[in-house]
Structure 1
Amino acid sequence: MSKQTVETVSGPKALTRTELARLANDLRLACMRISRRVRYESDLLLPPHQFSVLSRLESAPKTNSELAEIERVTAPSMKRTTNVLVEAGYVARADDPEDGRQVILSLTPEGLKTLKRIRRHRDEWMLQRFEGLTEEEHALLASVRDVLLKVASE
């Protein structure tokens, strides 16, 4: 296994497996904390699990079973979530024309409007935190972004 390197003031430095494990732990914790804070502090209108369902419906209508599988929850749990979203006017139900036992769920215009509003709030929440950073920290975040996206996609 090859050693990872990290750029230091004196040049690249190989990280030991222990140092790499510590870095992985620290970054995992930081990502989890940021994710949690963005979800819970940036918008109080919709719980995170409901927001996630709206996001999943943005690309295409889906059944409760499909949503449950994507979100990795039970079908009854997903049905409770989508019932709340239907009652709030964010999601519409329609009979599946190919299978009368299935119900197709889709985003309503109000659901799409709410989804976009929450995303704007979340982006604004992050932007406010970035505004207090230095130019060097902004540059570092820009370079780390691509690495984190690569890690997240694997």
Structure 2
Amino acid sequence: MRFEANPELAPHHASALFKLMDGPRTPSELAEQERVAAPSMTRTVNCLVERGLASLASNPNDGRSKLVALTDSGRDALEQTVHARDDWMMRRLAGLSEADQEILRAATEVLNRVLDA
């Protein structure tokens, strides 16, 4: 599903941008959250900044680091990604039998209980 969402936004770019929805992060924080090496995240951040999807600013708490923030264009790209993912999933689910859809509803309830535990 990650690859079906938005062909203009690579899955690892979307994932990094989703992390910025709660507020700016340092590249190191993003690397840790994404479980990638710092140089990989630096390349990702640079690409996002070049495309205008994220911005870099000085970190007021640490002059040695930068903060990555989501731009309006980045927010729009994420919104398009969410809608595309939802549409993709709804088309697949619509083709299932009622019995299969019921199985998925029951499985979703079980998974939600696991997450809440």
Instruction: Give TM-score, length-normalised by structure 1.
Output: 0.71
The answer for unaligned runs of 5 or more in structure 1 is 1-37
Equivalent in the alignment of 2:66? 103
Query: Secondary structure in 1 aligned to 2:64?
Result: coil
Equivalent of residue 132 in structure 1, options 68, 76, 95: 95
Opposite residue 81 of structure 1, the aligned amino acid is T
Coordinate RMSD, CA, aligned:
1.5
Q: CA deviation at 1:127?
A: 0.3
2:107 is equivalent to residue 141 of structure 1: no
Opposite residue 80 of structure 1, the aligned amino acid is R
Equivalent in the alignment of 2:24? 61
The answer for unaligned runs of 5 or more in structure 2 is none
Deviation string, structure 1 residues 63-118 (Cα, Å, up to 9, x no partner): 00000011111111100000000000000111011211110111001100100110
Opposite residue 61 of structure 1, the aligned amino acid is P
Larger Rg: 1
Deviation string, structure 1 residues 20-70 (Cα, Å, up to 9, x no partner): xxxxxxxxxxxxxxxxxx011232111111110000001111000000011
Give the Cα–Cα distance (whole angstroms) in 2 for the partners of residues 86 and 152 of structure 1.
34
Equivalent of residue 80 in structure 1, options 43, 47, 61: 43
- What percent of counterpart residues are identical? 43
Instruction: Give TM-score, length-normalised by structure 2.
Output: 0.92
Q: Which has the higher contact order (CA 8 A, sep 6+)?
A: 2
Give the Cα–Cα distance (whole angstroms) in 2 for the partners of residues 64 and 121 of structure 1.
27
Instruction: Detail structure 1 runs of 4+ shifted over 3 Å in the superposition.
Output: 149-154
